[in-house]
Amino acid sequence: MHDLIVQGKVLYWGTSEWSATQIEEAFSICQRLGLHAPTMEQPQYNLFHRGKVEREFAPLYKAYGLGTTIWSPLASGLLTGKYAQGIPADSRLQVKGLEWLKDHVLGADAARKQSAVAELSALAKQLGTSLPRLGVAWCLKNEYVSTVILGASKVEQLKENLGALEVIEKLSPDVLKQIDKISKPLAN
């Protein structure tokens, strides 16, 4: 990666789903050998998947200036509310071979997650927004989230997700506490 940067073929390099230990090792090697170090990590991050970004990587942000380009801000659709009445027939959670995804999204805490989604949806309504916008805005509110990868498959979904930019300012410390009270007990 260092050679590609020196040759002008890429500007930066990053990691994806590496552990904090692996990232620290990469920085150590790059510093020792005078190489370009990674500038970002690409972890999953959403209201129900928080541990890596909020705890494991915490020492890396200031120590190395690490940024994150997060994926699955809507927990594979869970934070859109589309699974509130069960799993739609055309959902990827119904696709044969993706049973692991269904287990990952809903898992053993399916009922508790659905209850939390309903509470988060009600909170979004109180804020005059939608659940997807709230979910994406919450991710963007984290100072260590540099970029959010959106998984929209329709133009309407993309427009909805981009509307999260208008919601960030509504996420006051009190609102963030409410969100934490609802989602944090279910987060890994």
Q: Give the number of other Cβ atoms within 10 Å of residue 132's Cβ.
A: 25
- The 3 state secondary structure assigned to 21-49 is HHHHHHHHHHHHHCCCCCCEEECECECCE
pLDDT of residue 85: 81
List the end-to-end C-alpha distance of the chain, in Å, as a whole number: 32
Does CATH number 3.40.50.2300 belong to domain 39-186?
no
pLDDT of residue 100: 86
How far apart CA 69 and CA 53 sit, in angstroms, is 10
Q: Give the number of other Cβ atoms within 10 Å of residue 188's Cβ.
A: 10
Tell me the two tokens of residue 185. 């007990």
- Tell me, yes or no, if the pTM score tops 0.75: yes
pLDDT of residue 66: 94
Q: pLDDT tens per residue, the chain (188 residues)?
A: 999 999 999 999 999 999 999 999 999 999 999 999 999 999 999 999 999 999 999 999 999 999 999 999 999 999 999 888 888 888 888 888 888 888 878 877 888 999 999 999 999 999 999 999 999 999 999 999 999 999 888 899 999 999 999 999 999 999 999 999 999 988 88
HSE value, Cβ hemisphere, 13 Å, CA-based, for 99: 2
Give the residue carrying structure tokens 């940067």.
5
HSE value, Cβ hemisphere, 13 Å, CA-based, for 102: 14
